[in-house]
Amino acid sequence: MQKPELVAHRGFTQEYPENSKSAFQAAIDCGCRFLELDVQISKDKQAIVIHDTNTKRTGTRDLDILENVWDDLKNETIGEPARFGDKFNNEKIYLLDDFVELLQDNPSVHAFVEIKEESIDKLSVNTVLEIISTSIKPVKKQCSLISFDSAVLFEAKETLDFPIGYVLYRYDDIRYEIAQKLAPDMLICNYEKIPDEKDSLWHGSWDWFLYEITEPEMANKWAKRGVKYIETMQIGSMIKAIG
């Protein structure tokens, strides 16, 4: 059995604010070669690294990402005060362009860039793809595009030259049919959504990519079943245990 490839879910989120520069740098520093991040699009069509459509959970104010321009967002902190108090008060929200600089400084690192459905619904598939693909063009060979939205992935496969990953809402016949038509490079799923009675995972041209796994034993169990990528918010302890 080959060891699974470990992916830092929003960075080293066990000890740092999610999707922050510090979280990604810390993941790289502990030996992680694969990062996952989320991108939303602001009102003035700037690609911003954040999971939610607002800053209420990760920041100190409730600012709507989709309804504000970058100049009104750029000074907001994303230090997750609910988890870390004032420890990361200097951690600022930032653009996807800034994350690209991190990849340029670390050419052996690969990023899975999640295109969020809320931004697609607000703008359009083509607009969001254009914004994100333009931003990551300098590090094209280091990026994959992933999403729950199959429409954006079909368009990306047709018009862009990036590996794509289809994130499954459910492990069911509807998603299997979509996966067969899409033929993504990766199928991505919360491991808890896969029924225990399933002896084998869906077969196809894709690699399997499971989240949110925090225990080395569980990661190795799925690796034995053919899973290539294991995504975790506890990248530090997982790398120590698995390597």
Q: How far apart are the C-alpha atoms of 165 and 127, rounded to whole Å?
A: 19
Largest separation between any pair of C-alpha atoms in the chain? 51
Q: Are 18 and 27 in contact (CB under 8 A)?
A: no
- Residues 6 or more apart in contact with residue 135 via CB below 8 angstroms: 47, 95, 96, 97, 100
Q: What is the CATH number of the domain that holds 21?
A: 3.20.20.190
| pLDDT digits 0-9 by tens, 45-85 | 999 999 999 999 999 999 999 999 999 999 999 999 999 99
Domain coverage including residue 163:
5-242
Tally of domains in the chain: 1
> Which residues have C-beta within 8 Å of that of residue 8, sequence separation ≥ 6?
23, 24, 27, 32, 34, 35, 36, 231, 232, 235
Give the pLDDT score at 196.
76
Report how far residue 66's alpha carbon sits from residue 138's, in angstroms, rounded to the nearest whole number: 25
Burial (CB < 10 A; 0-12, 13-18, 19+), residue 107, is exposed
pLDDT in tens, 113-149: 999 999 999 999 999 999 999 999 999 999 999 999 9
Q: What whole-number distance in Å separates Cα of residue 135 and Cα of residue 145?
A: 12
**CA 65/CA 155 separation, integer angstroms:** 24
Is the full-model pTM beyond 0.95?
yes
